[in-house]
Each structure stands twice: as C-alpha cells, then as structure tokens.
Structure 1
Amino acid sequence: MYKSRICCAVIAALASSGVHAQEESQNKAAIETIEVTATKRTESIQEIPVSVTALNGSALENLGVDNFQDYVEFLPNVVFQGNGPGTNEIYIRGAASSQTSISVSSVQALQPSVAFYQDEQPVSMQGRNLDIFATDVQRVEVLPGPQGTLFGASSQAGTVRLITNKPDLSGFSAGVDMEIAFTNGGEPSNTLEGFINAPLSENFGVRIAAYNDKQGGWIDNILNQPGQGGYIGSAIVIDRISGGPLTDPANTPVVSPTNNALVEDDFNDAQYTGARFSGLYDNGDWSFLIQHTQQTLETEGVFAYDPNLEGESSTNRFQPDDNKDEFGLTTWTIEGRLDQLELVYTGGYLDRDIESNVDYTGYTNGGLFAAYYVCNHYEAATPADERCLDPTKFYKEDTNTSRTTHEFRISTPTDNRWRLIAGVFMDEQSVDTVGRFKLGNTDLGFFSNLQRTTVGTEGINSNGGPFEPDVSFVNDVTHDIDQIAVFANLEYDITDSVSANFGARWYEIDDEYKGSTTTVDVSRRLRAFGTMDPNELAAVGLDPVLVQQAIDSGQLQVDLLDDNGVLTVDDTIFKFGVDWKVNKDLLLFANYSEGFRPPVTNRVGGGLATNQNGAFEGFRIPVYSLTDTLDNFEVGMKGDFLDGTLRINATAYYSEITDLQTSRFDPTNISFLFFTDNVGDAEIRGIDADITWLATENLVINSAFSILDTELTNINPELAGIAPPSGSELPYSADFSGNLRARYFFELDGDLSGYVNGSLVYTGDRLASMKMDAYVLEDTTQLVYGVGSGLKIQDEAAVYEGVTYTDSNGHVFRGGRYVQESYVLANVAVGVTNDEWKVEFYVDNITDEAAMQHIDNQQFTPKVMTNRPRTFGIRFSYDVF
C-alpha cells in the first residue's frame, strides 16, 4: 500500500514537471514528449528534424516564471538586452548587434533579429518587444536558427512563441494562483491570477484568464551631492566638444542639477494587469477560435544602477521616469478539412499605445550639440559673464502601433509519403510616434515656437498646434511597413527511415518613413533621394553634385527608393534538410536555412559627418542600411536512452552573417540623431544541448547549455577604426551559459505529496556593445562624478586616430568595450500538493547576486541593468477540474 501511494504521488508530480508516466514493458516512468507547432503542424518535439526548445506550462509554473525576463533565463541560447519591463530585445545564438536607445527606438531602430509570437500572431517591435505576462500558458517554444521560410522577416536568428491555453470542450475547470514575495532591501510584491474554462454546449466553450502582478522596487533614487553629477562642469568636456574651453579650467563653473523632489527608495515599481478572453466552436470538421488579450504594463523609476555610486541599487535621476504600455491583441483562427487538404486561416490585429517620460539629463554629456544647448549659445561680453543653464532634460514619447496580419495555408495529410505546407502571408504595420525633448533653452533659433509639423507629410500623425513651452526638439514621424509573402515547405520520405525537406519563401516589403524632426523634413529628404531631383536635394540642404558622386562611387545607395521615397525590397530565401530515423528513440538531422532583416531608412541619410577629421573624413550617413542575411548550417540529434529515462537533444551549427546591421549614435563626430548602418560580416559557431534525466522514481534532473564562438570577419571600410576590428566578438552573448534544474518528490501522510525544486543558472562574460566607446565613457564618468565606473573593460584597438579630441592627458582614446561579467543565480522551492491545491515556499537568488544583465552605454555614462535581489515568497494555487 505504501509503495502504491508513493508511485502515484511520483507519477502525478512527474506530470506537473514536464514528465509523465508511460507504462512500458519495464513499468518505468518515461520523459514526456511535448507536442509543438514549430513546423506549423502539431508534432512531437522529438520527431521534427529541427532544433526546438520548449517549456510547458507546468515547467513554467514550477520555475516560478511569469514574465519575459524570467523565462529567458532558463533558455541558455537566448538572451535579452534592455532597460527593464517592456523594453527588451531578444537575441538567439549570438546573432546580435547594438540596438537603438529605447528612448527613440520607435523612431529609428533596427527590425528585430528574433521574431516573437503569441500563438499565430507576430508581435515583434524594434527595441520594445511585447512583454506579455505568462498566465495560463500551455508552453513557450524557442526555435533557434533562421526560421524565415515559415515565419518570415525578423525570424533571422530564431523565433520565440508563447502558446496560450485554449478553451477545452471536455469539461469545466477553474483555478486561482496567489503569491506574495519580499525582496531584500526592497518593497514586497504580490500576484493574483486565475482562469475559468466553461463548455457552454457540446461544440462551444469559453476560457477567461485574468491577472494582476505588482512588482515592488529595489533601486533607490538618491540625492545628488554638490559637485557630483555636475555634467559639463569641466573644461575638458567643453574643450572636447566645442574646440575651446568656456574659461580657464580652474574657474569653469560646475553646474550640478538637483533631484531633491525625486529622491525615493525602491522607486522602480512595475505592474502588469490584464485578461485574455477566448471562445472556441468545434463541430469535429471545422473549428473557429477567437481570442482577445488586453494588458497594461506600468512602470516607475529605472531598473539600472549607477556603478559610480555606492552599492548596486543606487542611481541619480533628475526628471520623472515612468512608462505606460497598453495593448489589445485580437486573433482568430479557422481550421477545417477539404477532402485531403487541411485548411487554416489565421489573422490578428494588434493595437499598442506607449506613453513614456524619461530623464534625459545624461544627454548633456553627449558632445557637440548637447553643450551648445546648455552653455554655448550665450554670447558673453567677458569670461565673467559666461554661465550655463540647468542641464536637466527630459524625453516624452507617445507612440501608437497597429499591426494586422493574415495567413492562409494548406497542408496535406501527415501519413503521406510526401507532405506539403504552403500559404500566403500579409502584414501591415504602422508606428506613429511623437517624441518631445527638453534639451536646454528653447530660444535657440530653429527651436523657437515649435509647431507640430505638417509640411510635405500627408497622412502623418501630426495634428498641428504648439508643444509644451519646455520642448526644444521634436520627432514626429510615421513608419509604415507592408509585407506580402508566399511560402511552401515540402517533405518527402526517401525510405522508411530517411526523409528530405525543402522550403522557400518569396517576400516583398514596402517601407515608408514619413514625417519630420525639428531640423529635418524626413519625407521630403527621402523623396529627394528617390527622384534624385537636384532642386529637391538642394532644398533639403544637400549638394546634388556631391551626392551624385557619392552614389557613383558606391558610398551611397538609393536604388531601393521610388519617387515617393518608399523603400521596396524583395527576395526569395530557402531551406534544405535531411533526417534519418535511426530507430524509434534516435533521430539525426542536418539543415541549411536562410534568414534576413529588411533595410532601415535613416532620418538624416546622405549627410556628411560633423567631424571631417581622421576616420570621419568624407563619411556620409547611409540613406538606408542594407538587408542583412544569415546563412545557417546545422547538424543535430534527438535521442532517448536508458529505457527512456535519459533524453539528450543537441545541435551543432555554423552561421554566416552578411552586412550585419547595427545602430549608431555619435553626436560628437557624426550626427545628433541615431541612424543605422552595416558594420560588416560575421561568423558564429556553436553547440546547443538539452538533457533530461529521470535519475530515480523520485528525482528529475534537467540541464541545458550553449557554447558560442562569434567573430566579426570583415568590417565595412568606412567604419575601420571606429567599429571593433576583424576578429572581435559580437556583443551580448557568452561563450558559455547553462542551467541545471532538479525536482525531488516525496510522499506525505494522507493524499499529500511534497517536492523540492532547485535551479542554478550560469551566464558567462559578455561584451556590452558593438561600439568601442568604453574608455570615452569612462573619461566622461570621471569628469562628471569624480570617480570612474569600476566596470571591467576589454581592450580592443586604438580608435579615433587623427581625430582632434583626446583624453585629459592628451592621448588618443583607446578602443574598448564594457564587459558584462559572469554570474550565477540559484533558486530553491519547497512545496506540498494534492490533486486540487498546492502551497510552495521559495527563495529566489539565494546568494543575493547582483547580475550584470545589461550595461546601457547610451546615456554617456554607463548604467547597469540588474536582477532582483534575494526574494522570499509563498505561492498558493487551487484548481478545480
């Protein structure tokens, strides 16, 4: 009787941790085989010949995973970089480059290299992937490597899919989960979420899930001390950016901004509030699913500390920081059969509104234009009359994103010797952005009496009228991207155990960028390049003769623009593969696949660099970045061993990136506006592996790791001496990262069972950027705060040779990048459960590690994005079936 009870408890617990009992001849439990839709069919993860990682809903629950940041930690070939909730970018297998600052990502940013989906709907956005709270989730699928033939643009390096639970017509069910947590040195957090699944008839049912998650802060906005955070309060800075000091260095005034009214402990709060409603009709032959997700994410403060200040939870902010990110996502899917063909039509509509207030005071240290705003516009009669304004600045953003997609596809029966999936995909995106900056005094010539722009920008989101009195610079643009694609994937069984597959996708993308900044009529500028009308080029401040020379020499490219300034690109990408089912437990496969990111148009394309010395002499900003492509070769295995108690899935791969896109911002030398460029070519070699072992009837061990070797192999000649040299590593991805998870089960009295969960996550050293600007930022940090950041820097090359500015000792700045140093995170949980309820006590980040998850170098002094300190909590769940 005792043995029977403990076996039942173990089997139930195995099922909740991603493992289930399959009664085999040996009467042993076996590892669960998760069903995934990575190939747009529902298939066993062990039988599809592509690399896929999946965490099912039970595994996510056991790991305590609720949001984007949490579940990425347990996917070692996936990294995120960003500045907190709602502002993250995903990278897979090391295919990464610098993204635009979050403050202007809606205006000028690269398209993502990794596509993010909720179910069938792509919800990717440059610099701001949709941060969906993971409630009532069936699984998270990660498809590393190019997935462009089936999933299109922005699937260049992989695809992440969040698959939600759908209505279940088999019976009523409901559940509620509650959690309260206490963070060391921070505020408490709490979560409440629940779902109801109700069949209303034999063929129709509904499901509702709702949640409210309040995450307490732990970062302190501390008082700025006199003489600290002075910004521009040094003759060295003024000399570097304006060619001469304001006054004698010993008498240069220090301007220290004040933040008395904003001083606050634990000011980085975040709150997710939302619900998902779905209805399903299914008569056995045809089904119709409609679903709507509504979420509001509100944050206050920042999620990074200033390393130059004491501790790892302190920052200085001088303007309010807050963000409200609200979206509504409606999706629909019709499935049915027509004779031997399965038909699927799926579509979706996303409406997203973002309102942000950002402290932009750090921009004061940004170079030429920033100092002009604060000090240099004064024409003092004598040095004694020279003075500087309050350097505090802000950025305010209002962005509306809408996205509508349609996909229709057909597929043949899975038991055919040949199997076909084919379809057509349409996508319409629109990003409307008004960004308002306070950069200093507004009475600076072209900043006077700002109006919402209307010139030559038919259809943009401006409505006329003045902005706030403090606003001195405006971005007011609309970015429309329309795509159509046709795709097909054919599989053929050469023998009973050997199969081959071939996939292709033709696409055409129209990219229209229209609107204006305070200083640039973007619409007219792009039309001028599209028509190459000398009068139009001259009207936007360009010399037609010099522009034509730059085009003839290949320095500028404009052939993708039509007369209206619309950029159009089309191409066909391919995939090939072969797989061998060695036996029922072992699959070997080899694949070749292609991925891409479309070009990005620039606001100030064609303009000459401000600094015409050394490496910057003759440099022109590209009108648009070129498409960057990724060619991937991989071999892999999926196998179950030791009577199904050991599973090893592993993939080795080699990738080549051509014309790797990167974001650039160099206000001292080139432009005070972000733009995109192609840094060069790169190669990536790596191994991914996932291992699951049923060590005993009571112990399940999971592990995963990623080994990477990345290298820039060729540098754009115009960026030689500016970008990292050939042989350098790509940013953000560690040479080695991995995790280890264990779950032990034991029986208690009555119908109760207990368990202990433990996890270790290791991430190795990573470079923080594509730009070699760490020593420049260190010098600025020293000048502003009187101390350096203390962050580790990897030397790479002498940089900016021949450029006029130097460090305080008169030496040319060295080239180096900050290192995001390695870290280990450890979690543990103890729980008690029966068939209906569960209580769990947990400790996350046992060692109170302050992990360097991202170093933001776009505020001209480094800021370190970190994780939550040690957190104790209790979770309770109750389910009715």
Structure 2
Amino acid sequence: MNSPYNADLPYTFEQIAVFGEVNYDFSEKLHGTFGLRWYDFEEEREFNSGGFFSNGDNDYDKTTADGVNPRVMLSYDLTDATTVNSQISQGFRQGGANDPLNIGLCGADDVVNFGGNPEYDEETLTNYEVGIKSQLTSTFSFNAAVFYADIKDLQVTLDAGSCSSRVVFNVPEAHTAGVEVELNAQPMDGLDFSVAMSVIESEFDSTIPSASGGALGGLEDGNKLASVPEFQFAATATYNFNAEAIAYGAEGYISATFQYVGERITQPGDQVSGAGDFTSGLPFGGATGNEETNLDLELDAYQLINLSAGIISGSWETVFYINNIADENVDLSFDRERGGRARLGYRTNQPRTMGVTVRKSF
C-alpha cells in the first residue's frame, strides 16, 4: 500500500507454426500459388497487483489458439511487361485476457460497461485483392491494387471511463477497403523518382451497446476505425552522381522524401459528439473541478520532409541527414487518463533532427 498502484505481469509464450506453398503454371501465361499456414499458439499470464488503488488481484490466465490460414494467388501475364494478379488470404490475431478494473476508481456505469469483459477472442481477417503490375517502359513502372478486408471479432482497445484501465472488446464485424497506387520513374540518368498513395475506407459493421443506451465508446455500425487515415501520399526523389572528386571510385547521392498523412482519430469514441469535452470533477488549487476543457479530437493531417546526402566509397558509406526539415509539430495520438479526469495530452513526433551516419560493409 506504499504506492498508488503497481502490477507484476509475467508471461509465458509458446508458438508453433508451419507454412508451405505450391506454385503451379496452368499455362505459359496463367500462374497459381497455393499456401497453408498451420499454427498453435499458447499464452500464460499471471496478474498480481498492489497499491492504494488496486483490488489486490492475483489472477492466472491462459489463452490458446490453433487453426489453418490459407492463401491463394493467381497471376496472368497480359504482356511480357504487364501482369494482372489476384489474391485471397487469411490471417489472425490471438485473443487474450483483460486486466482487472481498478474498481476503487470506477464510477458505477463504468463498472457495468467495462467490468464484464474478462477475455477477448481471437481476431480473423480475410483479404481479397486484385492488382496490376506493369513495366510500361524501361524507365517507368506502374503498380496498383484494389482490396477488401473482411474482419471478424476485431480487437478494439477502449479507455474504461473513470477506471484508469484499458479494456479490449471484440467487434463482430468490420471492414477496410481501398486502392493503392505506386509509380516509379527514371526521367533522366541518375534520377530515380517514386510516388505511392492510398485511399482507404475503414468502418465498423456491428454495434456494441452500452449499459446506458447507445453505442459503447464509438463502437457503432458505420463509424470509422481508429488510427486509419483515409488518404496517404509519399514521394521520394534520389539523384545519384559520380563523386570521384571526393574519393577515387566513390559514388554520391542526394535524396528527398515527402510524406502526407490524412486526418485520423486515436480511439473510436473520439468521433462521437462531445468526446472532446472533459471535466475532471476534482477540486484542487482553487479549481472547482467543474471547469470544462474542450478539444477537437480529430488529429490534423500532416506533412513531413526529410533530406539526406551520402557518399559511398568501397565498403564505407557516410550519410548526412536532416529529418523533419520544416520542424513540423505533429499530433500522432491523443492520450487521456481516467476518461479525461486526469492527464490530457498529445503524443507528438521528433522535432527537426540533423546528424551523420557512417556505415561499413563486411
């Protein structure tokens, strides 16, 4: 009892998996790949807690998962330079046990909403994809893909309201769908240029009800999944040149990258009306505890630019770099404690960083 809270969580993992693939040419143009992955996972955990706010829990949990994940790929050569491909594949994420709530910190509604979920099931995902790869000229290539991912029992982590805990729930149905495009070009000798972009829709297709009515923590049919931007874009340009003026046989390069990431949310509940209105309820230092902090929890889009220049001579490489050259202050996620009754803050990125890296190959 000499600390607010402490916990000891020793884990034991045992994972076995076997994967195999068979490639078969149906004709000179049509090719197939057929794969299976068998897995058998086991996780054991103890949970021992102490401190003023703990329940004195001493729990033992064991989670197992086994099964087979298939993959089927077909590709067809339209020409010597262009291939159309399709794929159906399946994957999983193991389930587990949630930590016990700190009941002494919980409001009555939060105990009802978050206390009856001691375990969560494994998540499965089936991905359907169609794409094209084309080397249009000797200096220009184009790749694109359209995909749809059907997710069963999606594992979603929610802050357990006032309880100072986080709880994983399974949402029975969810999906992501999108388009990815990649272009690579060499417009002149020594200059390589690439662009990649994606447009993604990601939504819940089921609703988890709360004890007080409505959806729990934004887990509602039609709401967006957390941490998935609808639009992303990246571009890289690299110029390679002869650097023998610096060292015999040396090569040099200058590279610049630009990254754009669209708006996101940190947790599903951040898209619910009023989610950014926080009241602590804790009188302190002249504050009544009824003061309200109002925040927009949608994370702004951001852009980052990195520059580097390097010299390669024999087995040595020296790189000078500047990351985040514009010194952008990016909000990567929003952090809150006890449902906003305590800590509020944004996790941010590294500021402008300059340095030198020296590598040697053996």
Q: Report 1:236-247 matches (<5 A).
A: none
Correspondence 1:475 to 2:7: yes
Report the TM-score, using the length of structure 1 for normalisation: 0.35
Correspondence 1:846 to 2:325: yes
Correspondence 1:493 to 2:25: yes
The aligned counterpart of 1:766 is 264
Return the alpha-carbon distance in structure 1 between the equivalents of residues 275 and 209 of structure 2: 22
The match for 1:636 among 131, 143, 162 is 131
CA RMSD after TM alignment: 3.6
The aligned counterpart of 2:238 is 743
> Structure 1 residues 569 and 835, CA, compared in 2 at 3 Å: closer, same or farther?
closer
Q: Aligned partner of 2:77: which letter?
A: K
Q: Point out which structure has higher relative CO (alpha carbons under 8 A, 6+ apart).
A: 1
Q: CA deviation at 1:753?
A: 5.3
The aligned counterpart of 1:584 is 80
CA contact (8 A) 1:638 1:648 kept: yes
> Structure 1 residues 664 and 493, CA, compared in 2 at 3 Å: closer, same or farther?
same
The aligned counterpart of 1:779 is 278
Q: CA deviation at 1:632?
A: 0.8
Q: Report 1:314-463 matches (<5 A).
A: 447=1
The match for 1:870 among 348, 352, 357 is 352
Offset from partner CA, 1:386-405 (integer Å, 9 cap, x none): xxxxxxxxxxxxxxxxxxxx
> Structure 1 residues 872 and 502, CA, compared in 2 at 3 Å: closer, same or farther?
closer
Return the alpha-carbon distance in structure 2 between the equivalents of residues 769 and 702 of structure 1: 32
> Structure 1 residues 672 and 761, CA, compared in 2 at 3 Å: closer, same or farther?
closer
The aligned counterpart of 1:570 is 66
Return the alpha-carbon distance in structure 2 between the equivalents of residues 782 and 743 of structure 1: 55
CA contact (8 A) 1:777 1:862 kept: no
Q: CA deviation at 1:636?
A: 1.4
Q: CA deviation at 1:837?
A: 5.4
The aligned counterpart of 1:818 is 297
Return the alpha-carbon distance in structure 2 between the equivalents of residues 873 and 619 of structure 1: 47
Correspondence 1:624 to 2:119: yes
Residue 329 of structure 2 aligns to a residue whose secondary structure is coil
Q: Report 1:298-309 matches (<5 A).
A: none
The match for 2:200 among 700, 708, 718 is 708
Q: CA deviation at 1:775?
A: 4.8
Q: Aligned partner of 2:217: which letter?
A: A
Return the alpha-carbon distance in structure 2 between the equivalents of residues 672 and 824 of structure 1: 33
CA contact (8 A) 1:857 1:863 kept: yes
Correspondence 1:656 to 2:150: yes
The match for 1:665 among 159, 181, 185 is 159
> Structure 1 residues 872 and 498, CA, compared in 2 at 3 Å: closer, same or farther?
same
> Structure 1 residues 781 and 835, CA, compared in 2 at 3 Å: closer, same or farther?
farther
The aligned counterpart of 2:180 is 688
CA contact (8 A) 2:208 2:216 kept: no
Q: CA deviation at 1:714?
A: 0.9
CA contact (8 A) 2:209 2:216 kept: no
Q: CA deviation at 1:781?
A: 7.5
Return the alpha-carbon distance in structure 1 between the equivalents of residues 78 and 350 of structure 2: 46
Offset from partner CA, 1:710-766 (integer Å, 9 cap, x none): 111111234743221321111112111121111224456755655432221111111
Q: Report 1:16-95 matches (<5 A).
A: none
Return the alpha-carbon distance in structure 2 between the equivalents of residues 754 and 571 of structure 1: 50
The match for 1:502 among 34, 49, 63 is 34
Return the alpha-carbon distance in structure 1 between the equivalents of residues 41 and 74 of structure 2: 31
The match for 2:229 among 719, 734, 757 is 734
Q: Report 1:221-232 matches (<5 A).
A: none
Q: CA deviation at 1:769?
A: 1.6
> Structure 1 residues 568 and 753, CA, compared in 2 at 3 Å: closer, same or farther?
closer
Q: CA deviation at 1:840?
A: 4.9
> Structure 1 residues 641 and 620, CA, compared in 2 at 3 Å: closer, same or farther?
same
CA contact (8 A) 2:276 2:297 kept: no
> Structure 1 residues 722 and 693, CA, compared in 2 at 3 Å: closer, same or farther?
same
Q: CA deviation at 1:692?
A: 1.5
Return the alpha-carbon distance in structure 1 between the equivalents of residues 296 and 152 of structure 2: 23
Residue 278 of structure 2 aligns to a residue whose secondary structure is helix
> Structure 1 residues 570 and 746, CA, compared in 2 at 3 Å: closer, same or farther?
closer
Q: CA deviation at 1:626?
A: 1.4
Residue 604 of structure 1 aligns to a residue whose secondary structure is coil
CA contact (8 A) 1:520 1:604 kept: no
Q: Aligned partner of 1:867: which letter?
A: N
Return the alpha-carbon distance in structure 2 between the equivalents of residues 699 and 782 of structure 1: 60
Offset from partner CA, 1:602-651 (integer Å, 9 cap, x none): 3439x9x95455x9757642231111111110011222121x21122222
> Structure 1 residues 748 and 666, CA, compared in 2 at 3 Å: closer, same or farther?
closer
Q: CA deviation at 1:600?
A: 0.9
Q: CA deviation at 1:487?
A: 3.5
Return the alpha-carbon distance in structure 2 between the equivalents of residues 781 and 621 of structure 1: 25
Residue 695 of structure 1 aligns to a residue whose secondary structure is strand
Return the alpha-carbon distance in structure 1 between the equivalents of residues 185 and 283 of structure 2: 54
Report the TM-score, using the length of structure 2 for normalisation: 0.80
CA contact (8 A) 2:207 2:215 kept: no
Return the alpha-carbon distance in structure 1 between the equivalents of residues 6 and 238 of structure 2: 54
Q: Aligned partner of 1:766: which letter?
A: R
Provide the identity percentage.
Answer: 23
Q: Aligned partner of 1:660: which letter?
A: L
Q: Which runs of 5+ in 1 are unaligned?
A: 1-446, 448-469, 527-564, 787-805
Q: CA deviation at 1:571?
A: 2.7
Q: CA deviation at 1:821?
A: 1.0
Q: Aligned partner of 1:499: which letter?
A: H
CA contact (8 A) 2:199 2:230 kept: yes
Return the alpha-carbon distance in structure 2 between the equivalents of residues 753 and 507 of structure 1: 47
Q: CA deviation at 1:830?
A: 4.2
Residue 771 of structure 1 aligns to a residue whose secondary structure is helix
Q: CA deviation at 1:508?
A: 3.0
CA contact (8 A) 1:686 1:708 kept: yes
Correspondence 1:602 to 2:95: no
CA contact (8 A) 2:279 2:290 kept: no
Return the alpha-carbon distance in structure 2 between the equivalents of residues 680 and 865 of structure 1: 30
Residue 500 of structure 1 aligns to a residue whose secondary structure is strand
Residue 13 of structure 2 aligns to a residue whose secondary structure is strand
The aligned counterpart of 1:757 is 255
Return the alpha-carbon distance in structure 2 between the equivalents of residues 784 and 745 of structure 1: 63
Return the alpha-carbon distance in structure 2 between the equivalents of residues 762 and 503 of structure 1: 35
CA contact (8 A) 1:774 1:817 kept: no
Return the alpha-carbon distance in structure 1 between the equivalents of residues 243 and 122 of structure 2: 60
CA contact (8 A) 1:488 1:503 kept: yes
Return the alpha-carbon distance in structure 1 between the equivalents of residues 204 and 85 of structure 2: 28
> Structure 1 residues 749 and 723, CA, compared in 2 at 3 Å: closer, same or farther?
closer
> Structure 1 residues 567 and 761, CA, compared in 2 at 3 Å: closer, same or farther?
closer
Q: CA deviation at 1:697?
A: 0.9
> Structure 1 residues 630 and 817, CA, compared in 2 at 3 Å: closer, same or farther?
farther
Residue 471 of structure 1 aligns to a residue whose secondary structure is coil
More helix by share: 1
Offset from partner CA, 1:252-297 (integer Å, 9 cap, x none): xxxxxxxxxxxxxxxxxxxxxxxxxxxxxxxxxxxxxxxxxxxxxx
Return the alpha-carbon distance in structure 2 between the equivalents of residues 596 and 827 of structure 1: 35
Return the alpha-carbon distance in structure 2 between the equivalents of residues 512 and 739 of structure 1: 41
CA contact (8 A) 1:506 1:573 kept: yes
Return the alpha-carbon distance in structure 2 between the equivalents of residues 487 and 838 of structure 1: 38
Q: Aligned partner of 1:779: which letter?
A: F
Q: How many residues align?
A: 343
> Structure 1 residues 817 and 711, CA, compared in 2 at 3 Å: closer, same or farther?
farther
Q: CA deviation at 1:478?
A: 2.4
Return the alpha-carbon distance in structure 2 between the equivalents of residues 515 and 832 of structure 1: 52
Offset from partner CA, 1:9-30 (integer Å, 9 cap, x none): xxxxxxxxxxxxxxxxxxxxxx
Return the alpha-carbon distance in structure 1 between the equivalents of residues 361 and 201 of structure 2: 49
